[in-house]
Structure 1
């Protein structure tokens, strides 16, 4: 991650207003053209297994299909899976009861990776329009995910 910028968290915090303004005002078609390449570049520099901040501090939403798939994988009834691992958040979504994620190993690898929730598979959303459709989420993600920071910082530098 140091190959991005050793002080990326500080820089991200300082640029939150600029990133917000960029995401609110930049032409969406231009953003959509730039983000696939920036996403690829980010993951050429960043190995999620070095960080796992998302799994250590936040929970994805577990949709019904995720719960069905994971409970089957683990040989549990859906109700048992929910009782053991999940709770309802303020938005009425199922999220993990605890942090870090109960499926995160000591090596930062996910024990249910092939069957992980769709939110996990899509995270950090840097290759899709969620980046500018859910600006508060993007800004929050940029504070702990170096890939989101990398994409936003490079959009900022290209479009300022």
Structure 2
């Protein structure tokens, strides 16, 4: 069973080390880095069950792009403007994000009420099995504090690149 309190303590205590690792990873060839993340992504998710955790849904908000808003508004039989008014606000970067956390679409059993229509950012989270990991290393570092799988990926990759 995943202990989110223990994860929070561990991920915070390793943050400085992971920040140094992130800087070392910037020097790794792009293809090699992408491959390391891909392999470790699959290994991490063989061990970690998102439905047991849902920490991302409990603590953060995805960015909602217009197609997400339109799709979810349709699910709830609302106008897009109504959906925005009900659930979203613009953050300091001008992006639409949820007004509150945990996510209003997260059920008690950690299942997503709108899973089939969820935002693109949710579909792709935690973004560790994609191309150009160099471009999102800062985001991935932040995600070590949110997602136990990303934390585990950093620990595994770090075994090879920490000095």
Return the TM-score normalized by structure 1: 0.89
Distance (whole Å) between structure 2 residues aligned to residue 132 and residue 11 of structure 1 = 24
Distance (whole Å) between structure 1 residues aligned to residue 13 and residue 30 of structure 2 = 24
Distance (whole Å) between structure 1 residues aligned to residue 14 and residue 110 of structure 2 = 23
Aligned to 1:51: 53
Aligned to 1:91: 93
The residue matched to 2:97 in structure 1 has which SS?
Answer: strand
Q: 1:153 aligns with which of 152, 155, 161?
A: 155
Cα deviation 1:61-117 (Å, max 9, x = unaligned):
100100111110111111110110000111111000111111011111110011100
Aligned to 1:141: 143
CA-CA distance at 1:42 after TM superposition: 0.7
Q: Does structure 2 conserve the Cα–Cα contact (< 8 Å) formed by 1:59 and 1:95?
A: yes
Does the C-alpha gap of structure 1 residues 135 and 37 become closer, same or farther in structure 2, counting only changes over 3 Å? closer
CA-CA distance at 1:39 after TM superposition: 0.9
Aligned to 2:41: 39
Q: Does structure 2 conserve the Cα–Cα contact (< 8 Å) formed by 1:87 and 1:96?
A: yes
CA-CA distance at 1:121 after TM superposition: 0.4
Q: 2:122 aligns with which of 114, 120, 123?
A: 120
The list of structure 1 runs, each at least 4 consecutive aligned residues, that deviate by more than 3 angstroms after superposition, is: 5-8
Distance (whole Å) between structure 1 residues aligned to residue 106 and residue 33 of structure 2 = 33
- RMSD, matched Cα: 1.9
In the alignment of these two chains, the number of paired residues is: 158
Residue ranges of structure 2 left out of the alignment (5+ in a row): none
